[in-house]
């Protein structure tokens, strides 16, 4: 049965939340008011602080030097079964080839855009200046989409390369791998160029970032 005295200490259940700063302002004020007059709860709170401090002081372990060779041996024995998802089927090959063709076209367009972006407004065609004047800023390629595309290419390439290792005679697979490798290199180069351009642009004064109206090659 709950006695009036127990009810006095009901706030004790929330001491951890108080310790972690998770109570609302009102709850905090109410608990602190109780703590001021309750030695028992103050004592529990102090002990909980000690517990948390001891847990936080728990060190990170070191790893024994023979651990990796043991794991590596397991990787070797499981190599054929591990990438089960990489075993290629006819429809997977069709998907890889389709993705490769699509991305090759896409990456070509991005490549031209990125080169122009890095080169600067003096090399832009007229229609880009019109768009830039309207937006008062450089047309910024979507870095997020490019990264996602690169991740997608990496995944497809991983699947295709592993499948090629396991089933080298699969017709069309060699071409798909080569296409994907070209796209991967191209996308990576575009991303690197854009990152460099972005850094250079960020380091320039704000007034020089927007293209000047009427600037021609």
Partner 1 sequence: MPAPDPDARDAARAARGDTRAFERLYVAHAARVQTLARRMVGRDLADDATQDVFIHAWEHLGQFRGEARFGTWLHRLAVNLLLRRAEVARRITARIAPGTIEELHAPSSSPETRMDVDAALARLGPGLREVVVLHDLEGYRHEEIADVLAISVSASKMRLHRGRMLLREWLRP
Q: Which residues bind partner 1 (CB under 8 A)?
A: 13-17, 22, 44, 47-48, 50-52, 54-56, 58-64, 67-68, 70-72, 74-76, 78-79, 82-83, 85-86, 147, 151, 154-155, 157-159, 161-162, 165
Which residue lies nearer to partner 1 by CB, 67 or 206? 67
Structural contact between residues 110 and 141, judged by C-beta atoms closer than 8 angstroms: yes
* Cα separation, 73 vs 63, whole angstroms: 17
Which residue lies nearer to partner 1 by CB, 105 or 195? 195
Which residue lies nearer to partner 1 by CB, 15 or 103? 15
Which residue lies nearer to partner 1 by CB, 8 or 161? 161
Task: For residue 41, give both structure tokens.
Answer: 């709860």
Whole-number minimum distance, CB 126 to partner 1, in Å? Answer: 31
Place of tokens 């997977």: 92
Whole-number minimum distance, CB 98 to partner 1, in Å? Answer: 19
Measuring CA to CA, which residue among 216, 208, 211, 204 is closest to residue 132?
211
Within a 13 Å sphere around the CA of 8, how many CA atoms are in the beta-carbon half? 12
Whole-number minimum distance, CB 84 to partner 1, in Å? Answer: 8
Rg (CA), the chain: 31
Whole-number minimum distance, CB 55 to partner 1, in Å? Answer: 4
Which residue lies nearer to partner 1 by CB, 55 or 169? 55
Residue 30: alpha-carbon gap to chain centroid: 42
CA dist list (Å): 13 to 20, 23, 53, 57, 67: 13, 12, 19, 24, 43
Whole-number minimum distance, CB 210 to partner 1, in Å? Answer: 20
């Amino acid at each position: 049965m709950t006695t009036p005295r127990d009810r006095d200490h009901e706030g004790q259940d929330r001491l951890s939340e108080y310790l972690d700063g998770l109570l609302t302002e009102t709850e905090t004020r109410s608990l602190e008011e109780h703590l001021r007059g309750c030695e028992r709860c103050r004592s529990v709170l102090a002990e909980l602080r000690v517990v948390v401090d001891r847990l936080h002081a728990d060190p990170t372990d070191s790893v024994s030097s023979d651990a990796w060779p043991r794991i590596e041996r397991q990787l070797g024995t499981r190599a054929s079964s591990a990438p089960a998802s990489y075993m290629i089927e006819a429809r997977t090959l069709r998907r890889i080839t389709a993705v490769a063709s699509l991305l090759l076209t896409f990456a070509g367009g991005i490549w031209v855009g990125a080169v122009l972006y890095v080169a600067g407004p003096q090399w832009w065609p007229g229609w880009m200046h019109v768009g830039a004047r309207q937006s008062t800023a450089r047309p910024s390629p979507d870095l997020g989409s490019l990264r996602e595309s690169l991740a997608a290419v990496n995944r497809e390439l991983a699947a295709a390369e592993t499948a090629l290792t396991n089933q080298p005679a699969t017709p069309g697979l060699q071409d798909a791998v080569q296409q994907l490798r070209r796209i991967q290199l191209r996308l990576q180069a575009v991303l690197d160029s854009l990152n460099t351009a972005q850094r250079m642009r960020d380091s320039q004064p704000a007034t020089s970032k927007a293209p000047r109206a009427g600037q021609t090659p």
